[in-house]
A and B are shown apart, each in its own frame.
Chain A
Amino acid sequence: MNHYLSLILFEPLVGALVLLLVNKRNEDAIRWIANVTALVGFVISMPLWFWYNPSSADFQLVERAPWIPSVGAEYFLGVDGLSVLLILLTTMMGSIAVLSSWTAITDRVKEFYIFLLVLQTGMLGAFMSLDFLLFFLFWEVMLVPMYFLIGIWGSDRRLYSAIKFFLYTLVGSVVMLLGILALYFHNHTVTGVYSFDVTQYHKLAVPFNLQWWVFLAFFLGFAIKVPMFPFHTWLPDAHTDAPTAGSVILAAVLLKMGTYGFLRFSLPILPDASRHFVPMIVVLSVIGIVYGALVALAQKDWKRLVAYSSVSHMAMVMLGMFALNPVGITGSIVQQLNHGISTGALFLIVGIVYERRHTREISEYGGLSKVMPVYAAVFLIMTMSSIGLPTLNGFIGEFLILQGVFVASKAWAAFAASGVVLGAAYMLYLYQRTMFGKVENPKNERLTDLSNREFATFAPLIVLAVWIGLYPAPFLRRLETSVQHIMTRVDSQYAQAYADCGAGAPTAAQIAANPAAKFMASMPCDANGNPLPEKK
């Protein structure tokens, strides 16, 4: 129990080490070991869902040990609701990615799985770290295996794409490191202690001009990762050329690093700068939503289309987050999960036919509904999930985001909602071009439908899509205290309101009359005016 997080964290790495010892010609053994490792990793992470106590605002399952005492860096792990959900997403998508590669990867099998498993540890570490230097370490660790996954097992322009991915992210992270160091020294000036303890940083009141600079430094690092317009151009290339498993992980988990960074570091540590930069983020997000969707509409490459749809969806996530109210932030986190589920699935879907036909050109396909009916049904469900059909997951996230954004500004919400229209357009256009019509290309006539293994990669995603769509309460409950924590940091009015909770919630009419009271509306009181954490 005490080392539970470490167990989840290093289990994939242990699997990778085991793989090192296996003869590389024994490919099936390698596949089995990798799959078992990833699946066990998912299974052992499941108790996290139950053991995490959503009514406590503290970081939980904390592990703490000195790491580099001379600079005050610690091996410091812990989770809250946000990271619990992202960790579970990571372990699940990790095992799906591994499973999806069984027949797709036939070259250098051993190295492939080793990189995939090391990547897994890197991502998990980033979500668990509460020490900023440790976070940075894992953040950089992720970069290397991904670089090789794209560069070695990728398609066409894989080297260009891999290097572009690497350099883009590296530039961002170098600048981010400067920001971390600035905070580190500031913390020392204030407290006299050298420490990278993030929970300590959460208590700092950083002067505004320092916040301003550090926010921009973090912004560059995180915005590239999200990716936000105009830092997004590495994404279509990386996605398009990455092998299926790489695209799935990239979309489902790696992009979340950026949004996670904003939520974990930028908002709570730099609240004033966060508020100050709302206009900039909103403008970039709104552009991203519309721009990503429009460019997706014009794509002729299946994977590139999905990649641009990611730009649009992640911009929506950013917009919800920077509405800076609880509903918007909650929606933003839920939508991160949803994006992982639906876009992950969409990349798997492209991967299935890519493996059979070795082309991503949309015009090469058409009429697949006839030859691959189960595949077409899965694709339809995931299309609907992606465009936010109620009863599926996408709607919950989108609606919460729109609700949060609407309270902050009606104009932003109108722009965001237009993304929903365009989303339907590019997805249905894609679906029509690939699934409908007659099978005109003779190469498509003999395509086989999903195998059991392939279906198994989709099954959990479909279950989750329906679960979040119909019954999101367990997810929302796990996010409540984390969101409250962020809110109390980022909005002093909210903190004040939270303190005076007994005063009773304002009515809707008051909110309409007084926009300043809008945050009070989101006050975490129940009907009796009690603060929510006390509610059971």
Chain B
Amino acid sequence: MLLLIPLLPFIGFLVNASFGRRLTKRVAGAVACGAMILSFVVSVAAVFRLLSFDPESRVMAQTVYEWITSGDLAVPFTLRLDPLSAVMILIVTGIGSLIHVYSTAYMHEERDAEYARYFSYLNLFATFMLVLVLGANFLVLFVGWEGVGLCSYLLIGFWYQKKSASDAGKKAFIVNRIGDFGFVLGVLLTFVRFGTLDFQQVARSLANLGTETTFGTVSVITLLLFVGATGKSAQIPLYVWLPDAMEGPTPVSALIHAATMVTAGVYMIGRNAVLFGHAPLTLKFVAVIGVATAFFAGTIGLVQNDIKRVLAYSTVSQLGYMFLAMGVGAYAAGIFHLYTHAFFKALLFLGSGAVIHALAGEQDLRRMGGLKRDLPVTYWTFLIGAIAISGVPGFAGFFSKDEILAKTFESGHTLLWGVGLLTSLLTAIYMFRVVYLAFHGKPAAAPQPAHPEEEEPAAQAHAHSHLHDAPPAMALVLIVLAAGSVLAGYVGLGGRFEHFLEPSFAPQTAKAAADGGTGMTLMIVSIVVAFAGIGIATYYFLKNCRAAAVMAARFAGLRLVLQNKYYVDEIYDATVVQPIRIVSEDGLWKTIDVRLIDGAVNGVGETVGGASEVLRRVQTGSVRAYAASLLLGVVLVLGYYLWR
């Protein structure tokens, strides 16, 4: 049954990959969506079965076969469903199905073959993502981990004729590989330390060990694994690929780069909660990186003009919150935020997709405005998403973000809490800035098509006067996700979500909740901050746009730094990429290989050749000369023996 969950999308992939070029869009789309929805149905059935078990023994496992056995290394291909994976498969198949349906309309302008190729990648992604969250040991997880990376690469570069798209895909893959470098070493060290790669067995063998107060093996393992997480989940210092990944089609950004794949690092820490729990030093590091990323990305998000880039930095920032939660040991809160974030961030991305679709590829906020009237469904759903992420009470984001901040405060990390709170102010500001710039105000001039390959006269004819709101398939998905963005948070009321996940994070049971007074105060502070953020955005970007311009002029330097993303890409290029390029080409290849080694080899060749040239002269053909040298030789040999 468990195998069926990833297998169904895989079948969809096989169909579309093999016969896609001969299928019509309708069939290709139906196969892909059908596979996903079926997978969702099976997932729901599996989770219901899981729920029928005792809370303490909620585990289902299926060993498909023995994958690798060599020496003492034995890795079975095992899938395991526990409460944590249950949450994940529901997100992946649920949100995944919605985004598949949305894509049928969004990608409709592609040629048949391209359409099928798109859906085959999307199905393949779902397969690997499900393997990732169901895998029972590090290597099966790694299969999914690398597989989603491949699909991400393919989908970011889906419009491969665009240089920026293929660049972004390559960057994503290579930056992730840098993270994997750490991850693989972490896995190897885990095996050497514990003799197994199975998550449960690792957790079990840790049961008798105390936590590491100094920087020991477990700390090293967890730190290396976390390096992998910074790659996959776009945290400092490896976050740079995610904003560029927005080159991919927008539904891809929603599914892979917001709701599912980028949360894999958070999931991985949750999966190894016991392991990380034994390394408090690593956890502290995780929390600091998380909150730093959250704040850092939030500031960049404030000034970006590309609607998808704002959302991308917002995702990086929200992922930072999740890592903050993991780092302070509030695993359930982190996963809870992962779950609510999947709804509202997918919603925001798909909403931006509807805008981009309506404007024939326009992504620049400065060329939008006043879309509220023409795109009512998109506007209202997008607004709900913005409210949810800002942390307004009653919406999904409020529950989860508030819980993370509360847990951070309770665990005594007041400074981290403060930065987190400040970030939540930034979140509300940048999100409502987008809402106001895109949907309110006056319509900008007729947009220029941004996709060069879509330069058809028909596309250019799209003027603001007759914009179309999202077509039915897209509108439906937006509405479902909007409902989710409101309601998803209520699952967590009364600690039910946390309680459900507890067996996955055991044996560390949740600490006693703080007394009501502190909790209430914290909550009120969060609410105030959220509304303050919205208020600031309303003042600068709706009521008094000139004030925004004045601010921008006064802090021109800061704004430039932020708009250029702190020049991190440039710094990486100057300190890593260019040196490698120069050393490889001029140093290693042209100097060592060609000049030094080959020079030596050819030198030997020439010397031998030259020597032969000299020796050749000896062969004069004169019998007298030969006789003389013969005589000389005899004399020398005889002389040698006589002398001895």
Contacts and interface: CB of A to CB of B under 8 A. Distances in A.
Interface of A: 164, 167-168, 230, 233-234, 236, 291, 294-295, 297-299, 325-327, 330-331, 367, 369-370, 373, 384, 389-391, 395-396, 399-400, 402-403, 406-407, 410, 413-414, 417-418, 420-421, 424-425, 428-429, 432, 435-438, 470-473, 476, 505, 507-509, 511-512, 521-524
A507 B160 contact: no
Contacts of A429: 170
Given A295-B593, A400-B73, A512 B166 contact: no
Nearest to A293: B584
Contacts of B65: 471
Given A230-B597, A294-B588, A389-B146, A402 B188 contact: yes
Contact of B72 (A298, A414, A473, A522): A522
A432 B181 contact: no
A326 B71 contact: yes
Given A407-B192, A437-B161, A508-B194, A420 B184 contact: yes
B195 A507 contact: yes
**B153, B184, B217 pick with most chain A CB within 10 angstroms:** B184
B71 A420 contact: no
Given A330-B71, A390-B146, A406-B189, 13 more contacts: A168-B601, A233-B597, A298-B584, A298-B585, A325-B71, A395-B146, A399-B184, A400-B70, A410-B185, A428-B174, A429-B170, A471-B67, A523-B72
B583 A294 contact: yes
24 contacts: A167-B605, A294-B584, A295-B584, A295-B593, A299-B589, A325-B71, A330-B71, A367-B161, A389-B150, A391-B143, A421-B180, A425-B174, A428-B174, A432-B166, A436-B161, A436-B163, A436-B166, A437-B161, A438-B161, A471-B65, A473-B69, A509-B193, A512-B193, A512-B217
Closest 8 CB pairs of A and B: A508-B195, A298-B585, A436-B166, A294-B584, A298-B584, A436-B160, A390-B143, A406-B188
Contacts of B588: 291, 294-295, 298
A434 to B, nearest CB: 11
Nearest to A419: B181
Nearest to B176: A424
Interface in B593-622: 593, 597-598, 601, 605
A512 B584 CA distance: 37
Given A233-B601, A295-B588, A370-B161, A418 B70 contact: no
A465 B592 CA distance: 34
B321 interface: no
B248 interface: no
B580 interface: yes
A334 to B, nearest CB: 8
A413 B185 contact: yes
Nearest to B183: A417
A234 B73 CA distance: 38
B73 A233 contact: no
A222 B153 CA distance: 39
A421 B150 contact: no
Interface in B552-580: 580
B249 interface: no
Interface residues of B, number: 56
B581 A297 contact: yes
A369 B161 CA distance: 9
A414 B73 contact: no
Contacts of A164: 601
Nearest to A523: B72
Given A294-B580, A330-B71, A437-B161, A390 B184 contact: no
A400 B70 CA distance: 8
B150 A384 contact: yes
Given A436-B166, A473-B66, A327 B73 contact: yes
A425 B176 CA distance: 11
Given A233-B593, A432-B167, A505-B72, A369 B160 contact: yes
Contacts of B592: 291
B241 interface: no
B11 interface: no
A420 B70 contact: no
Contacts, number: 148
B28 to A, nearest CB: 15
B105 interface: no
**A234, A391, A413 pick with most chain B CB within 10 angstroms:** A391
Given A298-B584, A400-B73, A413 B188 contact: yes
B203 to A, nearest CB: 15
B167 A390 contact: no
Contact of A373 (B113, B177, B178): B113
B139 interface: yes
B285 interface: no
Contacts of B184: 399, 402, 417, 420
B157 interface: yes
B304 to A, nearest CB: 26
Interface string B18-33: 0001000000000000
A472 B75 CA distance: 11
Contacts of B199: none
B608 to A, nearest CB: 9
A297 B580 contact: yes
Contacts of A391: 143, 147
Given A295-B584, A295-B588, A396 B68 contact: yes
Contact of A420 (B72, B181, B188): B181
Interface string B162-182: 010011011001100110110
B380 interface: no
A231 B489 CA distance: 64
Nearest to B582: A298
Contacts of B157: 432, 436
Nearest to A532: B71
Contact of B174 (A167, A299, A421, A507): A421
Contacts of A471: 65, 67
Interface in B49-108: 65-73
A521 B181 contact: no
A508 B193 contact: yes
A390 B142 contact: yes
A438 B163 CA distance: 8
A524 B161 contact: no
A298 B589 contact: yes
Contacts of B193: 508-509, 512
B191 interface: yes
B185 A414 contact: yes
A329 to B, nearest CB: 9
